[in-house]
Amino acid sequence: MLSALLDDLGGAWFFSATGDQRPSQPTRNDVTWFPVTVSGQETSMRSRAAAIKLFLWTFHYLHDTSVEPAFDARMLADWRAYQEVNAQFGDALARGGDDSADEVVLVHDFHLMLVPGLFRSRLGRRNSTLVYFHHVPWCDPGYFGLLPDEVRGAVLRSLLSCDVVGFHSSLWAQNFMRCCERYLPGVQVDGHVVAYRDNATKVVAAPGPIDVDSVRSLADGALVQQWRETLTAQAGNRRIVARVDRVDLWKNIVRGFDAYELVLDRTPSIADEHWFCAIVSPPRFPNARHAEYEARCRAAESRINARFGSAGDAVTMVYPTGSENHRARAIAALSLADAVLVNPTFDGLNMVAKESLVVNPQAPLLLSRNAGAFDQLAPAAIAVDPFDVLSTADLVETALRTPPRPRDATHRACLDDLAAETARAWFDRLLSG
């Protein structure tokens, strides 16, 4: 999304770097790359720990609140490192921009939530348009209250120094505004505008786009066709139920397997007719919790296959290796599927849901209500309550037993909107509110 935006508009990308790197010369698309070298490996590691344990887990509702989060001396050190790294990015932005009226500064995601406030403080009077986009969910005020007051206040004050704060979903946008109202005295919310001190911030829901032409081109290519043949051979004479995920803690793979096991409990012969193909890849930010979660995924896979795998594996987690094109395999699985299950507990957007509708619009898409893409894709999807294994099983069974329904006008309009979206249109929506 961001790469496509730079290709279209030009500009500068400030990125985290190691070693002695220098800014690039402008490319043919008038894009310049600015490395921001974080001082010290320990600072970088501690900042990342804060980003994950303080923010990523909070926004995805992942804490075991019987023991965490615990804002102890170690976590305080992580938080200070997060502040330091954000300060370095704020300094780099202040030095690297021209602060003109037609300049837009876009800060992206939870690693850099303090950058907007720091950037503004470095400039004093700001002329550029300052935008922050939050790629992951934003939790409700009660859960956000797990964070210490110092952390809550610093994050919210920083983001309310922006002209625009954007989210994939209206639910995440509403949660953010409710957090501002609860935790920042003096905030006034009027519709989608949050006024605080001397600034008014528009809060915008703008679902991130996919490059439909790129997805279709990949789906029509030889590499995806090779993977279709491989997966078809692995399925045997069975049809395919597909899911595509990183093994992240919020992707809800285990409950998806549990729901499918209930379907097989009711009608064991479905295992002779369908193969549950789970295309999985490593988590983006792995830690010890992922090893435990992956073990639970594998245990569910093994248990289901031991009970229902007489005609071959009933369920298979298909992992990438270094020499394989994971994206091509994922698109192949989605294009072959009789049904696609996307049931995250809480997800900022979920690109897989969009890609599924592009490459295989006839297949039922069972989509979590807590996926950020749900607002946009609801007319073309079947709503899933991600924590309700029984109802998920009912929906999967119905999808496998019911012939595809003709697409109505709202379904077709949803697909047309999906096909028309671009990075530039997404950016314009952010700025226009």
Structural domains for the chain: 38-205 (3.40.50.2000), 212-420 (3.40.50.2000)
Picking from 156, 213, 227, 146, the residue whose alpha carbon sits closest to that of residue 185 is 156
> Could you tell me which residues come within 8 angstroms of residue 432 by beta carbon, excluding any fewer than 6 positions away?
none
pLDDT tens column, 250-278: 999 999 999 999 999 999 999 999 999 99
pLDDT for the residue 38: 83
Residue 210 has pLDDT above 90, yes or no: yes
Q: What CA–CA distance (Å, rounded) separates 121 from 123?
A: 5
Give the model's confidence band at 190: pLDDT under 50 very low, under 70 low, under 90 confident, else very high: very high
> pLDDT-derived band of residue 383, with 50, 70 and 90 as boundaries?
very high
Q: CA-to-CA distance for 377 and 382, rounded, in angstroms?
A: 9
**Separation CA 384–CA 185 (nearest Å):** 37
* Contact predicate 244/334, CB 8 Å: yes
What pLDDT does residue 7 have? 86
What's the pLDDT at 21? 64
What's the confidence (pLDDT) of residue 24?
Answer: 67
| Residue 202 vs residue 404, higher pLDDT | 202
Length of the chain: 433
The pLDDT of residue 20 is: 64
The pLDDT tens digits for 52-82 are 999 999 999 999 999 999 999 999 999 999 9
Burial (0-12, 13-18, 19+ Cβ within 10 Å), 376 = buried
Residue with tokens 């997800």: 347
Q: For residue 102, what are the CA distances in angstroms to 113, 127, 413, 423?
A: 23, 8, 34, 19
Per the CB < 8 A criterion, the answer to whether 274 and 242 are in contact is no
Does residue 323 register a pLDDT over 60? Answer: no
